[in-house]
Homo-oligomer: A and B are copies of this chain.
């Protein structure tokens, strides 16, 4: 099914799977993209969507097999399964500002995109923590991975998970500042909006029933109310490269600028 939906997205013209409502919907979106964006941007979105479907497949396979991945594998999977890739691939379409390929595919910009996705994914893990606990879910998230494989208490895992997220965000801000001065107009727009995406993701989490209804995702607007002024801090819990051995993301701290 996933493959047909993906192929529908990639196929210009008539929807190839007219009897599949998911394929038809995604094809409709892709045709709208084609009508307002260049083939480069549409293709980037298609690649991103493909990677997302694969990440989700991996996540479902883990769940079906009762496998709790290690932290490094979890992060590799989560970079794809979180849905950040297609979300951020829409920035260029919405802004009508195409980042030239030599900038977009550079290691620094690739890493910055992945970092933004990683922060979002770890934030989502945190936002769904209350719900997971209320429903006694032991699904894969950065905290269950840490308690499972690193013999941490829930409190320790919470601290480690947030520290990891803060490390990535600090590195994102640091590297972005280094890349900005020699970035073209479209890339500056894109990198700025990656940051908006990180902020937007937490804003969104304060409002959606998905996180505010611990027992039932379909109860709207949710039986938990987010604080009107959520607490925040200017001080990261940790900075610098991760202390765990995490080769899938460790290279983000290399000299990429």
Contact = CB atoms under 8 A, between A and B. Distances in A.
Contact of A106 (B11, B39, B50): B39
A202 interface: no
B254 A3 contact: no
A43 B110 contact: yes
Interface string A43-58: 1000100110010001
B105 A17 contact: no
Contact of A11 (B39, B40, B251): B251
A77 B254 contact: no
* Size bracket of the A interface: 35 or more
A183 to B, nearest CB: 15
Contacts of A254: 12-13
Nearest to A246: B16
B76 A248 contact: no
A39 B76 contact: no
A73 interface: yes
Contacts of A242: none
B248 A12 contact: no
A200 interface: no
B107 A39 contact: yes
A248 B11 contact: yes
A64 interface: no
A94 interface: no
B251 A73 contact: no
A247 B110 contact: no
Contact of A40 (B3, B38, B58, B105): B105
Contacts of A15: 247
B76 A12 contact: no
Given A47-B47, A54-B54, A254-B13, A3 B73 contact: yes
Interface of A: 3-4, 7, 11-17, 38-40, 42-43, 47, 50-51, 54, 58, 72-73, 76-77, 100-102, 105-107, 110, 247-248, 250-251, 254
